[in-house]
Amino acid sequence: MRQDTIRRLFSLILLAILVAIFSGTSEYFLTFANIFTLLREAAVTGILAIGVTFVIIAAGIDLSTGALVALISMICANFLYYTTLPVPIILMIGVLVGILGGSLNGFLTAKLKLPDFIATLSTQGIFRGLTLVFAIRENGVIRNKVIKNMSFLILGGHINGIYLATIAFFILAIIGQFILKKTRFGTYTYAIGSNLKSATLSGIKTDAVKIIVYIISGLCCAIGAFFLTSKLQSATPEMGIGLEFDVIAAVVVGGCAFSGGHGDVFGSVIGTLFMAVLTNGLYKYNFPTAYQIIIKGLVIVATVIFDSVYQKFMENRTARTKNLKQFPSNFIESK
């Protein structure tokens, strides 16, 4: 079996075990109301995880997602509070901000050759600062006003109990998986993540690909921001703090390796559902927030250790197979 297939099966097994544990100890866990709520809570993280999947497959990292979500939400809130612009125009402005944020990350990493970690950590601070600049104020004091525009709040609605955010999440996952697996751009993304130098020598415009994957991440941040803002019916400077942790955790648990070149969107969907089930279960058992963060961190560590051990096992297996194939010819030559 391929490494990606085995890795996805491992994530599915973890998800099944977690569901079995929580459903076996709580009669309310597998109720329709809880499942729909769980999927809604997973949707925003999952939408962001789709974009970050492209980035990590290309051997990058994006630490600015939570801050960019907050900035987009706050800018949209300003237009909703102070203008009479139609909601579609405001959404287009939010998408533009997301694309610009992603382009900045791509420019810093691809053109200026800054390490992805440093570049996106810096833009995280920039976006968070701009969120404070655009925060709604009255007499110089930041106020969190309720959004009352029903044309915007409809994004937080549902169809027969299934929230629009959940529907958008799964539709975007299908689109993202198609782009990764069935398009030339997807092939290029895997190529630069596997071996940047070889990809460059083969004629791939690696800088352009890297900028685009960050733009995709920024676009997903915009879409996630719309659903999160409509759900909360407000935009706050604190919005999205720590969100990048859950997003990266979901992508890693789903099978994307930090070294790049491995993973896919469907794996990240499984990882997102795993983290959502874990969070939901821990919340229902009244685990303190500190312990929830510790447990999530341990899950990431365990997943990375598994990936490292499995990668070393596959390399040793490949080396042994290669030696066995060469043995007959070497034996004949020695005779």
The CATH number for 42's domain is: 1.10.3470
Query: In the chain, where do the E strands start and end?
Result: 137-138, 141-142, 158-159, 162-163
Residue in the structure block whose two tokens are 């992603």: 102
Measured CA distances, 246 to 171, 241, 308 (Å): 21, 10, 21
Radius of gyration of the chain, Cα coordinates, nearest whole angstrom: 22
Q: List the domain range (segments joined by +) for residue 143.
A: 3-328
Question: Which one, of 286, 291, 237, 310, lies nearest residue 5 by Cα?
Answer: 310
How many angstroms separate the CA atoms of 335 and 331, rounded? 6
Domain count, the chain: 1
Does residue 174 belong to any structural domain of this protein? yes
Does residue 257 belong to any structural domain of this protein? yes
The mean pLDDT value of the chain amounts to: 89
Q: How many CB atoms lie within 10 A of CB 203?
A: 7
Percent of the residues in the chain that have a pLDDT greater than 90, as a whole number? 60
Low-confidence ranges of the chain (pLDDT < 50): 331-332, 334
Does residue 333 belong to any structural domain of this protein? no
Task: Return the pLDDT at 308.
Answer: 76
Does residue 161 belong to any structural domain of this protein? yes
Task: Return the pLDDT at 329.
Answer: 54
Vertex 98: Cα angle to 95 and 104 (nearest 5): 140
Q: What is the DSSP letter of 145?
A: P
Does residue 334 belong to any structural domain of this protein? no
Does residue 95 belong to any structural domain of this protein? yes
Task: Return the pLDDT at 331.
Answer: 47
83: exposed, middle or buried (C-beta count within 10 Å: 0-12, 13-18, 19+)? exposed
Does residue 138 belong to any structural domain of this protein? yes
141 phi and psi angles, rounded to 5 deg:
-105, 135
255 phi and psi angles, rounded to 5 deg:
115, 0
State whether residue 181 is helix, strand or coil.
Answer: helix
Does residue 89 belong to any structural domain of this protein? yes
CA atoms within 13 A on the CB side of 109: 32
Residue in the structure block whose two tokens are 């092939």: 187
Contact by Cβ (8 Å): 48, 247: yes
